[in-house]
């Protein structure tokens, strides 16, 4: 047991299948305990996070916004779920000794060089664009890609296809055929 927990990596099929079991258990347990089944998802937390931050400066503005009203700006199950992702990855990386201080990843460096500032700008702009798109589509690769497709939802299959299509075209234009 301890040996596997300390392994640097797990087979992606095994780790993925365990996520599938976790997703099932999450819905079953939360349905039984909270009377509301929780499917895994992450992007709404960024809406609530942004709402909480804006609330500190302009509470009336947040209260008046229709989107914040529909998502309810509060600390909830999913926000703690996202905090938990940080904690779980932190422990896993330390047990497996795979912590890696990285400011510019390999494929990015091949194409755009070693500037940490340029990479930070890319991460920031990309992050803003993707979250905007995820909210318009109604979910991200967790909420649509995993949870929605587990339920055989038409909307989630459509979303996943267009996530990948947009990503593959952009990656090809941005990084070329390389990444080598």
Partner 1 sequence: MELFIGLGTGFLFGFLLQKGQVLRFDRQIGFLLLKDMTIIKFMASSVLVGMVGIYACHEAGLITLSLKATNVGAIVIGGLIFGIGWAIAGFCPGTSVGALAEGRFHALWAILGMLVGAAAYAELYPALKGNILSWGNYGKITLPQLLSVSPWVVIAAWIIAAVGFFIWAEKKGL
**Nearest approach, Cβ of residue 59 and partner 1 (Å):** 14
Residues 6+ apart with CB under 8 A from 47: 67, 68, 71, 135
> According to CB under 8 A, which one of 1, 59, 80, 114 is a site residue for partner 1?
80
**Nearest approach, Cβ of residue 73 and partner 1 (Å):** 10
> According to CB under 8 A, which one of 72, 99, 113, 114 is a site residue for partner 1?
99
Q: Is 179 in the site for partner 1 (CB under 8 A)?
A: yes
Angle between helices 116-137 and 154-175 (to 10 degrees): 160
Distance CA 93, CA 100 (A): 9
Which residues within the stretch 111-150 sit at the binding site for partner 1 (CB under 8 A)? 116, 119-150
Distance CA 73, CA 48 (A): 5
One character per residue 6-35, x = contact with partner 1 (rule: CB under 8 A): -x-xx-xxxxxxxxxxxxx-xxxxxxxxx-
**Nearest approach, Cβ of residue 40 and partner 1 (Å):** 7
> According to CB under 8 A, which one of 105, 113, 114, 115 is a site residue for partner 1?
105
Look at residues 82, 90, 19, 23 and name the one whose alpha carbon lies nearest to residue 47: 82
**Nearest approach, Cβ of residue 56 and partner 1 (Å):** 13
Q: What region, left, alpha or beta, does residue 58 occupy, with left being phi > 0 and alpha being psi -120 to 50 degrees?
A: beta
């Amino acid at each position: 047991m301890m040996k596997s927990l300390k392994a640097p990596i797990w087979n992606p099929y095994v780790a993925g299948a365990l996520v599938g079991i976790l997703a099932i258990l999450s819905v079953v347990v939360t349905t039984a305990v909270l009377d509301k089944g929780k499917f895994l998802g992450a992007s709404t937390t960024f809406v609530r996070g942004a709402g909480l931050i804006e609330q500190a400066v302009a509470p009336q503005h947040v209260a008046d916004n229709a989107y914040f009203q529909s998502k309810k700006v509060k600390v909830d199950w999913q926000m703690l779920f996202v905090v938990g992702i940080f904690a779980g990855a932190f422990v896993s990386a330390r047990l497996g000794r795979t912590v890696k201080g990285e400011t510019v990843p390999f494929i990015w460096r091949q194409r755009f060089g070693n500037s940490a500032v340029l990479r930070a700008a890319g991460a920031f702009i990309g992050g803003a664009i993707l979250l905007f798109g995820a909210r318009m589509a109604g979910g991200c690769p967790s909420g649509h890609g995993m949870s929605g497709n587990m339920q055989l939802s038409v909307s989630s299959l459509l979303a996943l296809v267009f996530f990948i299509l947009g990503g593959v075209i952009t990656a090809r234009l941005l990084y070329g055929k390389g990444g080598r």
